[in-house]
Amino acid sequence: MILYPNAKINLGLNVLRKRSDGYHDIETLFYPVPECCDILELVPADSFRMHVYNADIAGENLCEKAWRLMNGHFGIPPVEIHLYKKIPMGAGLGGGSSDAAFTLAGLNALFGLNLPKEALAALAAQLGSDCAFFIYNRPMMARGRGEILAPLAFSLEGRTLRLYPQEVFVSTREAYAGITPRVPQLRIESVVRRPVEEWKDLLVNDFEESVFARHPELAAAKQALYDEGALYAAMSGSGSALYAIF
């Protein structure tokens, strides 16, 4: 079975408050980007094996964690997983989370478990805050840690979306360290209902302020996109990839 785990972008990202469990409550619109994807192959095998190509991933891969989670719950047989990485890592594009979610969905289909998406999303949420989104893989508002999802009728059809991976690596821990949580006056749902031409000063990624202060080259790259004629440009997630809508 061959699957194509896709990237996502964040249209707006508000860090609302720090929680008692150490996490933060956020608000963001997850939007899938099918044109940017990894390649994932699941093959029944005598013992579990994981192969990663085009990337150096230290420790246990999220795909392996996904198989162990499904094996623990449902006793599925071992598989051999081949993962070819094309989505940039540490870029805020959700590649690892997508790989994990697609592994869950693929195992569900491969072994005929017939789990509904709601059950798969609950399992995915155990692997990472934005993993559940990739089970549904459609525009969704995300709240809580990113695992509380609600569909949103929204599309960028008729616009051109381009991704701009950067060579800068931004850790999520580093990004959160510079955040001052706040509740914005305008919520993301209301902003994205406006014409894209009005988003520039209204649709905000709260991570940009602190990340751009540490990495001014990212701020310069974003401004260059506006200079090229982008209607809207922003950093995705905690960075460092940028995207632009033309």
Which of 8, 85, 99, 222 is the catalytic position?
A: 8
Annotation marks residue 130 as catalytic: yes
Of the listed 85, 130, 206, 222, which one is catalytic? 130
| DSSP state letters, the chain | -EE-PEEEEEEEEEEEEE-TTS-EEEEEEEEEEEEEE-EEEEEE-SS-EEEEESS---SS-HHHHHHHHHHHHH-PPPEEEEEE--SPTTSSS-HHHHHHHHHHHHHHHHTT----HHHHHHHHHTT-TTHHHHHH-S-EEEETTTTEEEE-----TTS-EEEE--S----HHHHHHT------SS-HHHHHTS-GGG-TTTS-BTHHHHHHHH-HHHHHHHHHHHHTT-SEEEE-TTSS-EEEE-
Among this protein's residues, is 56 annotated catalytic? no
Q: Which residues are the active-site residues? A: 8, 130
